[in-house]
Each structure stands twice: as C-alpha cells, then as structure tokens.
C-alpha cells in the first residue's frame, strides 16, 4: 500500500522585510492509492508549495508527508512530475526525453527502447521518436512530458497546472487522455489547476484551498471523473449537478478573492 498521508504540514517562509508568510497551515489529508485528486484555489493559496513539498523540492517547516511507510525527504523516482510548460530537454529528441529517467538509471537499452515505443503509443505520439522536441506543438510537448514521467512507473503522479498553457480544444483532448491513463494504469494522480471545470472533471476528490494562511477549505467527492471515462465530457458539463457544484465553488473562490482584495484596499 502506498497511500499519501499529510500529517499537519506547515510551511512558513521568511520574507525579506523580516516578516513571515504562512504558506501552508496544518494541512492533513490521506490520499489512497489509485485516487484522482484535483486541488483548486485562488492564487497565493499554497497549491504549488504543497506540490513542491510532496515532490521533495522543498522541505516543510513543520509536519511531514508520508508515501507508503516512508517519509518524503527529497525528490525521488517514485513521484513523477508534470510541469505547466513541459520542461522538456530541448536538446534531446522525443525518445531521448521519454527514456531520460531510465538512461539515468542505466537500464537495458533494448527494454528501454521497447518501453518508449509503448508509451509513445499510449500518449498518441507513435512515430515521433526521432523528432526534436523544439519542433513539437504545446499539446504534443505535454504528451511527451506525460510519457517521460509515466515510463518510470511512479507510485504518485503530480501535475502542476499541466494543461494551463494549452488551447481549449487541445485541453479537452488532454483531459480525456489523463482520465484514460488514470483508468488504465490505476495510478494515484494529484492535479493542481486554475480551472474549476477541469478540477471537477479530473477530480474524484477535490480540495478547495483558501489563502492566508494556505489551508484546506473544503473537500468534495465527485462522480464526474468516473462518468467521464464512458460519457462525453460535454454532456457531463451540461448536467444539473455539475453546474450546481461549479457555481458553488466559483462563488466560494469569488468570496475568498473579494476578501483578499477588500483586505488590501482597507490596508491601503
């Protein structure tokens, strides 16, 4: 069992002026293996900080994350990461990007080549192995990033606004791809997003975070991700439940934003 457990995680940054910013306060949750979680919140609520801590790029000032039995203390191959801009190595070809992790480990070349073929087919890039990545479109680059992360067979996949920079059409296709991968591989996936609709569609569970200090505000359990595997996402988006939930979350975030803006205007 490799569940992700957050135990009273706190993150306090020191600012240059000598003050402190409480980026995360007492964040505790458990993400079971195979669950699909999306995290939503206004900007500055600590979403990315949360993800960076889980990935091991930052260390929390209090509390800890556990993946399975191990405490997370640094970056590792059991957590795959997909970034907003792909963060591909543009001096390498598609195949070299995808097999980067395996090459670093020194895996068998033949097996690696076979795996790369498989994964390129899953993400819909068969035949692009020798293409330089700087020649790919944004959507294709994100597919490479997905394959590059998945080929290492991580326990947990972390996605930091992975579809944020894509156009609407590509985005819809990629959402379906993410659902397909979730279904087929049964991986635990955590997605951070700005878009409420995306969060609803790609979240079996949904956390809404609140800023100042960054904390978990509300949790939802949603049926849409499961439905999305079989139904057209456009139909889901038009369903009564989807619209109601969307409006509820939107007004919730709207209130938070208002609070921040009001606070600043009062202070000024």
Partner 1 sequence: MTTVGVLFIVLICLLVGSIIYGRRLLKTEVTDAVFGNPTRALGGWHWIVAGISSILIIWLYFSWDAGRAFFPKAANELCQVAKLNRTANPIRSAFPLDDRLLRSTALLERDYGQIDLLDSKLANANFGDTDRAELKAIISEMRGTLSAQADPKLIAPDAAGRLDDIATRINELAKNLEDDNYPSEADPDREKALQQPGWGETNVEIPTLPITDLGYKFSKASEVMDGISKDFGKIRNNSEAITAKLEALQARYKGFKIDESEGEEITAQRKELVKQIEKIYRRIDDGKIFPSAMTEPVEAALINLEDVKNSAQGSLRWIDAIALPGGDILAGNRACSEQGSGRWLPKPSDTLNTLTRMAEPTEGFMNIPLLWYAMKPAGEVFEILIPDWIADLVPGEYPRHDNEGKVLTNFKTKVYNFATGNYKSMLIPVPIGHIWDSLMRVLAGLFFGILLGVPLGLYMGLSRFAKGFFDPLIELYRPIPPLAWAPLIVTIFGIQDDGKIFLLFMVAFAIMVISARTGATGTQLSKIHAAHSLGASKFQIVRKVILPNSLPEILTGIRIAIGVCWGTLVAAEMLAGTTGIGFVENVARKQSDYEVIWMTILLLGILGLMFDLMMRFIIHRTIPWRGKG
> Where do contacts with partner 1 occur on this chain (CB under 8 A)?
55-57, 75-77, 79-81, 83-85, 87, 89-91, 100-101, 104-105, 132-135, 145, 148-149, 152
Strand order in 79-82's β-sheet? Answer: 79-82, 156-160, 188-193, 36-40, 205-210, 215-221
Residue 40 tokens read as: 């939503």
Cα separation, 141 vs 262, in Å, equals: 40
CB of 100 to partner 1, least distance (A): 5
CB of 174 to partner 1, least distance (A): 18
Cα separation, 142 vs 171, in Å, equals: 10
CB of 148 to partner 1, least distance (A): 7
Place of tokens 């049964």: 186
Query: With respect to partner 1, which residue has the nearer C-beta, 79 or 171?
Result: 79
CB of 88 to partner 1, least distance (A): 8
Query: With respect to partner 1, which residue has the nearer C-beta, 88 or 256?
Result: 88
CB of 41 to partner 1, least distance (A): 21
Query: With respect to partner 1, which residue has the nearer C-beta, 149 or 178?
Result: 149
Query: With respect to partner 1, which residue has the nearer C-beta, 6 or 81?
Result: 81
* Residue 245 CB contacts under 8 Å (≥ 6 apart), including other chains: 200, 220, 222
Cα separation, 212 vs 16, in Å, equals: 18
Query: With respect to partner 1, which residue has the nearer C-beta, 13 or 57?
Result: 57
């Amino acid at each position: 069992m490799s569940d992700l457990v957050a135990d009273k995680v706190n993150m306090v940054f020191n600012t240059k002026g000598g003050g402190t910013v409480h980026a995360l306060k007492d964040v505790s949750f458990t993400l079971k293996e195979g669950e699909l979680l999306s995290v939503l919140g206004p900007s500055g609520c600590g979403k990315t900080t949360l993800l960076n801590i889980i990935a091991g790029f930052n260390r929390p000032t209090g509390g800890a994350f556990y993946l399975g039995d191990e405490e997370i203390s640094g970056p590792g191959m059991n957590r795959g990461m997909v970034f907003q801009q792909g963060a591909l190595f543009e001096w390498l070809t598609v195949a070299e990007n995808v097999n980067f992790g395996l090459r670093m480990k020194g895996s068998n070349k033949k097996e690696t080549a076979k795996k790369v073929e498989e994964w390129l087919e899953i993400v819909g890039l068969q035949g692009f192995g020798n293409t330089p990545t700087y020649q790919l479109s944004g959507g294709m680059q994100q597919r490479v990033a997905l394959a590059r992360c998945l080929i290492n067979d991580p326990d947990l996949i972390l996605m930091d606004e992975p579809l944020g920079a894509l156009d609407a059409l590509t985005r819809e296709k990629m959402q379906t791809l993410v659902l397909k991968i979730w279904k087929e591989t049964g991986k635990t996936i955590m997605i951070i997003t700005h878009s409420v609709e995306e969060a609803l569609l790609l979240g079996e569970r949904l956390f809404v975070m609140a800023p100042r200090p960054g904390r978990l505000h509300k949790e939802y359990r949603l049926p849409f991700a499961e439905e999305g595997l079989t139904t057209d996402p456009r139909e889901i988006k038009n369903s009564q439940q989807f619209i109601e939930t969307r409006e509820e979350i939107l007004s919730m975030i709207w209130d938070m934003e208002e609070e921040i803006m009001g606070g600043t205007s009062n202070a000024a």
